[in-house]
Structure 1
Amino acid sequence: MELADKIILLTGGTAGIGREMARQLKEQGAKVVLTGRNQERVQAMRDEGFEVIVADLSNAAGVDALIAELGDKDIDVLLNSAGQLVDHDFRDGEPNADAADDCIYANLNAPIRLTAGLMPKLRNRPKATIVNVTSGLAIAPAARTPIYCATKSALRFYTLGIREQLKDTNIRVIEALPPVVDTQMNDGNPMKKMPPEECARQIVVAIERDQDEANIGMTKALRIAETISPGLARNITLRF
C-alpha cells in the first residue's frame, strides 16, 4: 500500500511501538489519527501535530465512543496497536480479576469491536488494510503473563479467520508479531529488548509491502522453532 495521503486510525499511538509507528507513518505522508488515554502523552502527540482522540478501549462504551467520534471520517487503515499487560502470576499472590478483565477487553474485544464497527468505512475505500499487532507470545506463551498471551493468541486466530473471509475483497489483513520491545510495558523484563523504532519500522514496511504476516526480530526464530516442534517453542517461552 502506498501510504501517502492514506488516513490511518492507530490505537495506542501515544506511547511505545504505537508512537514510533505514528511518527514513521507521518513521515511517509499518511494522515494519522491516534488514540490514547494518558493526558500528558496525548498532549505531547498533539504538540507534534497529530490528531489524537482520547479513548479508553478497555470497555465497550469506550470503543463505541471512539467510533462515534470518528463520524464521517474515511479510514484506509485500521491499525490495532493498543494493548495492556497485566500481572497474573499465582506464584506471587492472588491476581486481580478486574485487571485481567480490562486486559482481555483492551487486547482482544476492542480490536474485534473496532473491526466490526469500522468495516463499512473500510469496504468503501478503493484499498484498505487492517493491521492487528499481536506478539511472539501468540505463538508460544510465557508462564508469568498468561492473560496477555491468551489475548494475543486469540487475536492471532481472529486475524487468520478474517483474512480468509476478506481475501477476495479490497481489504488486506496483516498480523504483526513483535518480540520483547523496549517499552514501558516491558520495564523490569530482563530479556534483550528490541528498540521500538526498529519494531515500528518493520511493521510499517509490512503495510507498504502488503505482507500477510510480519515476524519481527526474535519472533522469526520462534516461528521456526514452532514449525519444527510446538513443544520446543513452548519450552523456550514458558520459562519467562
Structure 2
Amino acid sequence: MRIAGKTALVTGGTDGIGLEIARQLNAKGANVVVVGRDPGRLAAAKSEGFATIEADMSTKPGCDRVVDEIGGAPLDLLVNNAGMGGPRDLVNDFDLDLTDRAIFLNLNAPMHLIAAFLPILRERPEAAIVNVTSGLAIAPSVAGVYCATKAGLRSFTQALRHQLRDSRITVIEALPPVVETRMTAENPHKKMSASACAAEIVKAIETGKKEAYIGATKLLRIVSEVSPATARRIMIRY
C-alpha cells in the first residue's frame, strides 16, 4: 500500500505502539485519526496534528462512538491496536469484571469496527486492516485471559483474510513481542521499543505482508512449528 494520502484510523493511538504507528504513518503522508480514552493523552496527540476521538472501546457504546465520529468518511486503513491485560491469577483472584472488559476491548472491539467499516474499505482502490495480536497468540503465558483474546483475534484474522481474498483489502496480522509500554511496565523480560515495533508494522502495511512476526516472535514461530509443546513450555513461564 502507498501510505501517502491515505486516511488511517488507529485505536489505542495515544500511547505506546499505537502512538508510534500513528506518528510513522503521519510521517509518510497519511491523514491519521487516533482513538483513546485519556483526555490528557488525547490533547497531546491533537497537539501533534492528529485528529482524535475520545472513546472507551472496552464497551459497545465506545465502539459506536468511533463509528459515529467517522461516519461515512473515506477510510483506507484500519489499525486495531487497542488492548489491555486481564487477570493473571485465575485461581485465587479471578476478576470477572476485568475479564469482560479485556475480552471486549481485545477481541469484540476489532470485530465491531471491522463490521462497521468494511463497506467503506471495500469501496477504496486499496485498503488494509491491521489486527495487532501478540506472540502469545501462538503459545500462551500465565496471562490466560489476555492470551485467549489474542489467540481468538488471530483466528478471526485468518478467517477474515480468507473471505476477503478476492477483494482489494489486505488483512494483516501483526504479532509483537514484549514491547516497552505502560502495560508491560512490571514485566521483567527484555522489551522491544515501541518505535521499532511500529516500524515493522508500518513496513508490513507498505509491503502488503499478511503476517508480521516482530522481534522475538520470529524465533517463537520457528520453535512452535518445529515443536508446539516446546513453545508452550517456554512461554507459560512468562
- TM-score tier, shorter chain, comes to over 0.9
| SS state at 1:18 partner | helix
- Structure 2: state its 5+ residue gaps: none
Q: Distance in 2 between matches of 1:169 and 1:86?
A: 35
Question: Gapped runs of 5+ residues in structure 1?
Answer: none
1:69 aligns with 2:69: yes
TM-score by length of 1: 0.98
Count of equivalent residues = 238
Where does structure 1 differ by over 4 angstroms across 4 or more consecutive aligned residues? none
Distance 1:194 1:63 in 2: 29
Q: CA RMSD in A?
A: 0.8
Residue equivalent to 2:116: 117
8 Å contact kept, 1:17–1:199: yes
Offset, 1:227? 0.4
TM-superposed deviation, 1:102? 0.3
- Is 1:206–1:214's contact at 8 Å kept on the other side of the alignment? yes
Cα distance in 2 for residues equivalent to 1:18 and 1:65: 19
| Contact 1:136/1:222 (<8 A) preserved | yes
Q: Which amino acid in the other structure matches residue 131 of structure 2?
A: N
Answering whether residue 25 of structure 2 is matched by residue 25 of structure 1, we say yes
TM-score, length-normalised on structure 2?
0.98
Conservation of the 8 A alpha-carbon contact between 1:179 and 1:216? yes
Say if 2:141 is the partner of 1:142: yes
The 1-side partners of 2:36 and 2:90 are apart by 30
What corresponds to 1:231 in structure 2? 229
Superposition pairs of residues 81-160 of structure 1, within 5 angstroms: 81-90=81-90, 93-143=92-142, 145-160=143-158
CA distance in 2, matches of 1:133, 1:40: 24
2:191 aligned residue (186, 190, 193): 193
Q: Tell me the amino acid that sits aligned with residue 70 of structure 1.
A: I
Report the secondary structure of 1:46's partner residue. Answer: helix
C-alpha deviations, 1:82-136, integer Å up to 9, x for none? Answer: 0011223146x31211011000000000001100010110011111100000000
| Residues 88 and 100 in structure 1, CA contact (< 8 A), matched pair in contact too | no
Letter in structure 2 aligned against 1:67: V
Mapped pair 1:176 → 2:174? yes
Q: Give the match's secondary structure for 1:239.
A: coil
Three-state SS of the structure 1 residue aligned to 2:174 is strand
Specify the alignment match of 2:47 in structure 1: 47
Q: 1:147-182: CA deviations, max 9, x gaps?
A: 100000000000000100001111110000000001
Q: Contact 1:16–1:184 (CA<8 Å) still a contact in 2?
A: yes
